[in-house]
Amino acid sequence: METLTTISFSLNGKTVPVTADPRARLSHVLREEFRLTGTKVGCDAGDCGACTVLLNGKPVCSCLTAVGQVQDAEVQTIEGLAASSQTFDRLQKSFLEHGAAQCGICTPGMLVTATALLEERSDPTDSEIMDALGGVLCRCTGYRKIIRAVANANKARPAATAARRAVSVGQRIVRLDGQRKVLGQDIYGADQWPDDALVLRVIRSPHSHAEFSFGDLARFIEQHPGIHAVFTARDVPGKNCYGVHPRTADQPVFAERLTRFRGEAVAAVAGDASAIGALDVSTFPVSWRPLPSLDTPAAAQSPDAPLLHDHRPGNILVRGRVLHGDPETALNNAPVTVSAEFETGFIEHAYIEPEAGFARRVGDRIEIQSCTQSPYLTRKDIATILGIDESGVRIIPTAVGGGFGSKLDMSVQPFLAVAAWHLGRPVKMVYSRPESIRCTTKRHPSKIRCRAGATADGKLLAMDLDGEFNTGAYSSWGPTVAVRVPIHGSGPYKVPNYRALTRAVHTHIVPAGAFRGFGVPQSTIAQEQLYDMLAEKVGMDKLEFRILNALDDNSPTVTGQVLGSGVGIRACFESLLPRWNTAREEAAGFNESNTCKRRGVGAAGMWYGCGNTSLPNPSTIRIGLQRNGRIAIHMGAVDIGQGSFTVITQICADAVGVPVDRFDLLPADTDVSPDCGKTSASRQTFVSGNAAMLAGKKLREAILQMNGAWPEDSQIVLGDGKIQLDSHSTRRHSILSELPLDEHGYILTAEATYNPPTEPLDGNGQGIPYAVYGFGAHLAELEVDLELGTIKVLKLTAAHDVGRSINPTLIEGQIEGGAAQGLGMALMEEWIPGRGENLHDYLIPTFGDMPPVESILIESASPEGPFGAKGVGEQALIPTAPAILNALYDAAGVRIYKLPATPDRVRAAILAKQQAAEGKSHG
């Protein structure tokens, strides 16, 4: 029973009363009552630190602090610190300059905690920073830039003025959306809602597979004051089915009679916030009849297994295939061969922002404001669900507090749309952390069997790969994974004979979907370890083996594509050589004097095609010259923290020939901005960047024409309300405020579309799947405790061929963040269905887990990329895990075939090796 009390405390320097249940979470009161949404909520359980505020000057998790505890106390949130603290001011500037905020959802918690530290110690050591901030999780940055930002906050630095430079490509320009993030002002999915919004809660299946039927729903509503409505499949006005691939769309908004995974939605309840907060879902009138579930691909493919979807025989969603040369014969005749099987589990995206948003009906249209990576796909699916034209749907993406692929799929949006459509009243919804983990997509678990052969002197002859992916109950991005993996399974090497067969298999588990790399990280773990085994068997240095076999400009890939130029993988490997040699000497020296601990060094390479596989994926950018002398850029691309807003604007600025700070960024809104596609597949820099470059060139041309065909090499200078053209000591001024406006409201508008030139693959997967590939190679150094099985990664060196480094700070951020996720994949992350639905059981890397990362940027310009640039977002994660696993083998002589390499698995492998050695010596 709720008892309301009036509590008085100092909030950001001002005494405030609030009437609330004293047991209410302080985080909730700050956000809901005071609308101080700079305090973020990632878990409501004390695990993530996003909700950190200062209580009497000390950092506390406001989600674990009852508001009754702050009576007469002093509470400071990021908003208060931003308004009053000089320490905070220096810190937030340092965060911007160091690129320490990516998606920004953890940033308020980091800044608040670090402010308290710097108030106590003005010049903390790295380890003091890591200790102080250790309770705040970040899924994007890999932590190292945060450490540097805090360490340097109180040190004099040159002011960051790069945004005013005439040439911006290649500059470390501070991210254009950074200011809002470091001041706690960015609006994420849960941060804004209309005052009259009802709250929506979904009723979900507690069983992996079950039949169900509803009781008396009208009576349930009657018995619960404050509950306004219940929605089920019968209330879906259009088609109760959606999915990212039109041909495999299969997921219902609400299940009908049968659920196929634990957590599947069957109904949604809309009501007042207090009624929904107090709702005991066990009183909801639904009866379940649990059915046997198919929990593994093996069970799902057994001959007598029932089908999850009648039209998919064998429970196979889709198969992928690439065949090049004659791998069978080549492997049979190869002087040296190796084979192995590698397994990976489900991996949770674990972004700090749970899914959230609100919807409202406006006449015969629906508007949804939510976090998403794919506003235009969402618009299409919502139109289908509501049975209306796409023009009747408006999607307004908020800032995204981490996505990594999962926010490509819809989450809250269909429920919000159906409820708001019927109620004619706004409805909001925020997933709890357990709900987010239970019901949203995961990285596909994989089982990959592979075999490779080489000549006696180490030239790769052939590879054969068989990949099985657990795709869960519905298709999501399963088709993309099954198709992308065979193309990439050879790695960035010359493999003249190759076969890769893959399949995505349905099971009664939450759908697996997109996660940074679309299956390529899993296949690279297999292939890069296999090549290490092959190099060892041949007797070659493992890095030299990779250099020998690396693709070059004129060697055909396994799909028969010849890139012609811009293949930088060899340069990536060669750039690692100095550190490789030194690190191996250092490890050997260490190992000579240690028996319980061993050090090792490992390397791995990767390649990754940017954009959709052999499918159109155009982006359109529109820019307009305004009367105030500034350029508006309509950015339909969603920046999920990787920095696309900034990078695309830099490209556009150089194409026009003006500094970045003359641009006004107009973020995505499907009513206003042209379609830039989804933020995935490392495509925004390449695809939207190209559209921005073309639009910029068009605008430049139009400006020169408007002024009487001025020479192409003229300098354009935009000032307040005026424009100046300089050419060979001739100058011309125009006053912009007097010029007429076009239909877009600009003096001049330029719009351009770019679609990567790819070609369909034939039945053997031969063709041109991607116009641009990114390449990379990582080197891992680590230490293994042979008694405990624990691994400490000491250093990562990451070389990436980015074509052209548009913004080195942002690229380094992607590399460090990707490496952190790769480290997590190698050593600690595995989601077990039905367990680990919080951030204390599902572990992601923290400050203490991440070693220093040295980034090496290689610029083998792509002829197709804007200024030669390639994507790097997904590339950064791919080689880390295999490099770590190869280093583990180098250190301890054991391979872990089933990830993650947790201490128990490592210790078991070490023991097995010791026992085998003892058995041999006794035998």
Cβ at position 50, least distance to ligand FES in Å: 5
Q: Identify which range of 66-74, 100-108, 148-156, 494-502 contacts ligand FES by CB under 6 A.
A: 100-108
- What x/- string results for residues 797 through 836 when contact with ligand FES is judged by CB under 6 A? ----------------------------------------
Inter-CA distances, 357 with 15, 32, 228, 504, 683, Å = 31, 15, 19, 31, 25
Which two structure tokens, joined as six digits, stand for 240?
A: 């109760």
Q: Which amino acid is at 463?
A: M
Cβ at position 221, least distance to ligand FES in Å: 32
Cβ-based neighbours of 492, under 8 Å, separated by 6 or more:
550, 551, 567, 569, 605, 606, 607, 773, 775
Cβ at position 768, least distance to ligand FES in Å: 35
Cα–Cα distance measured from residue 68 to residue 719, given in angstroms and rounded to the nearest whole number: 54
Binding to ligand FES, residues 39-98 (CB under 6 A): 41-44, 46-51, 61, 63
Cβ at position 325, least distance to ligand FES in Å: 44
- What x/- string results for residues 271 through 290 when contact with ligand FES is judged by CB under 6 A? --------------------
The residue among 43 and 439 lying less far from ligand FES, judged by its C-beta, is 43
Cβ at position 310, least distance to ligand FES in Å: 41
Give which of 513, 518, 521 is closest to 471, Cα–Cα: 513
The residue among 443 and 444 lying less far from ligand FES, judged by its C-beta, is 443
Cα–Cα distance measured from residue 235 to residue 268, given in angstroms and rounded to the nearest whole number: 10
The residue among 139 and 442 lying less far from ligand FES, judged by its C-beta, is 139
Cα–Cα distance measured from residue 645 to residue 322, given in angstroms and rounded to the nearest whole number: 36
The residue among 392 and 813 lying less far from ligand FES, judged by its C-beta, is 813
- Which residue in 80, 99, 104, 124 binds ligand FES (CB under 6 A)? 104
Q: What is the DSSP code string of 574-612?
A: HHHHHHHHHHHHHHHHHHHT-SSEEEEEEEEEEEEE-SS
Alpha helix stretches (DSSP H) within 721-828: 808-827
Return the H-helix or E-strand segment holding 90.
Answer: helix 86-98
Q: Identify which range of 133-141, 417-425, 434-442, 555-563 contacts ligand FES by CB under 6 A.
A: 133-141
The residue among 102 and 650 lying less far from ligand FES, judged by its C-beta, is 102
The residue among 113 and 612 lying less far from ligand FES, judged by its C-beta, is 113
Cβ at position 63, least distance to ligand FES in Å: 3
Cα–Cα distance measured from residue 643 to residue 399, given in angstroms and rounded to the nearest whole number: 12
- Which residue in 102, 113, 650, 680 binds ligand FES (CB under 6 A)? 102
Convert 115-174 into a string of H (helix), E (strand) and C (coil): HHHHHHCCCCCHHHHHHHHCCCCCCCCCCHHHHHHHHCCCCCCCCCCHHHCCCCCCCCCC
Q: Identify which range of 102-110, 249-257, 663-671, 715-723 contacts ligand FES by CB under 6 A.
A: 102-110
- Which residue in 28, 31, 93, 139 binds ligand FES (CB under 6 A)? 139
- Which residue in 81, 82, 101, 881 binds ligand FES (CB under 6 A)? 101
- Which residue in 11, 18, 70, 106 binds ligand FES (CB under 6 A)? 106
Cα–Cα distance measured from residue 110 to residue 640, given in angstroms and rounded to the nearest whole number: 18
Cβ at position 813, least distance to ligand FES in Å: 9
Binding to ligand FES, residues 582-611 (CB under 6 A): none
Sign (positive or negative) of CA dihedral 180, 183, 185, 187: positive
140 binds ligand FES (CB under 6 A): yes
Cα–Cα distance measured from residue 883 to residue 906, given in angstroms and rounded to the nearest whole number: 16
Query: Could you give the maximum distance between any two Cα atoms of the chain, in Å?
Result: 96
472 binds ligand FES (CB under 6 A): no
HSE toward the beta carbon, residue 635, CA cutoff 13 A: 31
Cβ at position 111, least distance to ligand FES in Å: 11
The residue among 43 and 133 lying less far from ligand FES, judged by its C-beta, is 43
The residue among 186 and 528 lying less far from ligand FES, judged by its C-beta, is 186
Hey, how many other C-beta atoms are within 10 angstroms of the C-beta on 644?
Answer: 26
- 446-454 and 336-344 strand pairing: antiparallel
Cβ at position 365, least distance to ligand FES in Å: 32
- What x/- string results for residues 635 through 674 when contact with ligand FES is judged by CB under 6 A? ------x---------------------------------
Q: Identify which range of 112-120, 136-144, 446-454, 538-546 contacts ligand FES by CB under 6 A.
A: 136-144
Contact 581, 754 (CB under 8 A): no
Cβ-based neighbours of 483, under 8 Å, separated by 6 or more:
318, 320, 502, 613
Cβ at position 60, least distance to ligand FES in Å: 9
Cβ at position 37, least distance to ligand FES in Å: 13
Inter-CA distances, 493 with 73, 224, 496, 688, Å = 63, 64, 9, 29
HSE toward the beta carbon, residue 722, CA cutoff 13 A: 8
- Which residue in 54, 117, 133, 138 binds ligand FES (CB under 6 A)? 138
- Which residue in 142, 397, 402, 836 binds ligand FES (CB under 6 A)? 402
Q: Identify which range of 101-109, 669-677, 745-753, 892-900 contacts ligand FES by CB under 6 A.
A: 101-109
Cβ at position 51, least distance to ligand FES in Å: 3
Identify the DSSP state of 667. Answer: -
Binding to ligand FES, residues 314-373 (CB under 6 A): 352
Contact 797, 777 (CB under 8 A): no
- Which residue in 60, 91, 103, 485 binds ligand FES (CB under 6 A)? 103
Q: By three-state DSSP, how is residue 200 classified? A: strand
Helix pair 520-538, 478-488: axis angle to 10 deg: 20
550 binds ligand FES (CB under 6 A): no
Cβ at position 675, least distance to ligand FES in Å: 26
CA–CA–CA angle 820, 823, 824 (5° rounding): 90
Cβ at position 640, least distance to ligand FES in Å: 9
The residue among 48 and 771 lying less far from ligand FES, judged by its C-beta, is 48
Q: Return phi, psi of residue 370, to 5°.
A: -160, 170
Give buried/exposed letters for 268-304 (b at 16+ CB in 10 A, else e): bbbbeeebbeebeeeebbbeeeeeebbbbbeebbeee
Cβ at position 405, least distance to ligand FES in Å: 14
Contact 428, 462 (CB under 8 A): no
Cβ at position 372, least distance to ligand FES in Å: 16
The residue among 623 and 850 lying less far from ligand FES, judged by its C-beta, is 850
The residue among 143 and 469 lying less far from ligand FES, judged by its C-beta, is 143
User: How many chain residues are in contact with ligand FES, going by CB under 6 A?
Assistant: 25
Cα–Cα distance measured from residue 589 to residue 579, given in angstroms and rounded to the nearest whole number: 15
Cβ at position 43, least distance to ligand FES in Å: 4
Give which of 918, 879, 914 is closest to 894, Cα–Cα: 914
Identify the DSSP state of 756. Answer: -
- Which residue in 94, 141, 171, 685 binds ligand FES (CB under 6 A)? 141
Cβ at position 62, least distance to ligand FES in Å: 7
Cβ-based neighbours of 301, under 8 Å, separated by 6 or more:
314, 315, 316, 505
Residues that bind ligand FES in the complex, under the rule CB under 6 A: 41-44, 46-51, 61, 63, 101-106, 138-141, 352, 402, 641
